[in-house]
Amino acid sequence: MDLIKEDEGLEPVSPSGQYFNSKVMSVSILGILESETPIDDSQAMSLIKDVFLPINPRFCSIMVMGKKGGKKWKKVEVNVGNHVFIPNFSTPKGSSSPSENDSFLKSYISQIAMQPFPQGRPLWEIHIIKCPTSEAQGTIIFKLHHALGDGYSLVGALLSCLQRADDPSLPVTFPSVNKFSSANKDDRNTGIRKVVSTCFLPLVNTVRDFGWSLLKSTCLEDDLSPIRCGSDSFRPFSVSTITFSLDRIKEIKSRLRVTVNDVTTGIIFLATRLYMQRVSPNSKLTTNSTALVLLNTRNLRDYKSARDMVQPNSESPWGNYFAFLHVPIPKVRPSNSQFSDSLKFVRKAHEVIKRKRSSFGVVLTGKVLEMMRRCRNSEVCALCDD
């Protein structure tokens, strides 16, 4: 990373952005768009220059070390050709079939997911897959570094590049959501129960969660398992996909009175346990394993475009506005080795996440990390997060 002598006028990198782009941690977001028609890349370069880059100055900036040690965003000239890749999946015998392209695409995503960004150019890439797969006629992969912003910011940026099919002159809009979901409507209490739930329980949860987060970041480690090898280096991995019906997820949500995120998290927990059992059949079903669940800290009811987020005093400014929750993956009793009660994972995810939402442990942990960053550096904080 370059060291600059003068950093006047340069935008400082947020603490979370510095954690995400360090020697011990490099976190990226992969966004995948599938097209029903073949992709014409003839206008790709002009669209990126005229539409994508102007969305936010960070797409034209690199991260440099400031004069006083803090990282800064420095605007540079962007060579779009260095950021756009168009791979060819054809075999030596000629064009491959859509089913063969499925395998090639998964391998390609796995490959680019592990590759770090060059620090000498802006932290984004676009991969255009023109070969048809069994799911689409074309695929566009956006690889964006998490230091650029959170998922809400980056998805807003990608949606800003799209046009409405019914009327391209109109901006993309989404319906507003209810302020309180059905998972929270039945949680209203009265009398003594309300006092306990609003005053005493948050205090207890804060002490518990803050203490546990400190232990997990310092001395308390998960058990060795197929998902934790104990090595400090990253191991190769492969990307696999599976499709779920949103209607089915909503049905489970309504019946269990939880949220869509609870159902999704429960599915991931169940799949993780199934994977661990398949890879290592002799491993214990009660292995202590922990997941990092992202908590969105934005309080919004309506979709905000990227243009709205970069406005001064925006109620939803551009950046990283989320927190990490340490959530233990539910264990499986030996008598339930066939995972017959799969809904248990959804209920457990709802229970733990709901409790952590009524806690200030995440806020306190963030304050401690910020103190460490000021006293030492972002590399130490990233090591604690990792």
Question: What's the average model confidence in pLDDT over 255-270?
Answer: 90
| Residue limits of CATH 3.30.559.10 in the chain | 11-160
Which one is predicted more confidently, 94 or 146? 146
CA end-to-end span of the chain? 21
Q: Is the pLDDT of residue 207 over 90?
A: no
Q: Is the pLDDT of residue 323 over 80?
A: no
- Ranges of beta strands (E only) in the chain are 11-12, 28-35, 61-65, 71-75, 84-85, 124-129, 138-145, 290-296, 322-328
Angular region, 203: left φ>0, alpha ψ -120 to 50, beta rest: alpha
Question: What's the average model confidence in pLDDT over 267-271?
Answer: 90
Report, in angstroms and rounded to the nearest whole number, the Rg of the chain calculated over CA atoms: 23
SS3 content of the chain, % helix, strand, coil (to 5): 45, 15, 40
Q: Is the pLDDT of residue 180 over 50?
A: no
Question: What's the average model confidence in pLDDT over 226-231?
Answer: 73
Q: Is the pLDDT of residue 182 over 60?
A: no
pLDDT tens digit sequence for 44-68 = 899 899 999 999 999 999 998 877 6
User: Span 11-160: which CATH code?
Assistant: 3.30.559.10
C-alpha distances in Å from residue 228, one per residue of 48, 130, 134, 219, 290: 39, 36, 33, 16, 10
Question: What's the average model confidence in pLDDT over 149-153?
Answer: 89
Q: Is the pLDDT of residue 188 over 50?
A: no
Q: Beta-carbon neighbour count of residue 238 at 10 Å?
A: 10
Q: Is the pLDDT of residue 144 over 50?
A: yes
Q: Residue 10: which of 68, 53, 50 has the closest Cα?
A: 68
Count, in order, helices (H) and strands (E) of the chain: 13, 9
Which one is predicted more confidently, 278 or 247? 247
Q: What is the pLDDT of residue 249?
A: 93
Q: Is the pLDDT of residue 322 over 80?
A: no
- Report residue 192's pLDDT band, with 50, 70 and 90 as the boundaries: low
Q: Is the pLDDT of residue 338 over 60?
A: no
Residues 6+ apart with CB under 8 A from 13: 21, 63, 70, 71, 72, 73, 147
With 0.85 as the threshold, say if the pTM is over it.
no
Contact 21, 378 (CB under 8 A): no
CB-based contacts of 365-370 (< 8 A; 24+ apart in sequence)? 365/210, 365/213, 365/214, 365/217, 366/323, 368/214, 369/15, 369/19, 370/15
C-alpha distances in Å from residue 143, one per residue of 32, 43, 84, 112, 148: 9, 19, 10, 8, 11
User: Looking up tokens 């159902």, which residue turns up?
Assistant: 263
Query: Which DSSP letter does residue 228 get?
Result: B
Question: What's the average model confidence in pLDDT over 76-83?
Answer: 94
What is the average pLDDT score of the chain? Answer: 79
Q: What is the pLDDT of residue 230?
A: 65
C-alpha distances in Å from residue 235, one per residue of 113, 230, 232, 327: 12, 11, 9, 23
Q: What is the pLDDT of residue 376?
A: 59
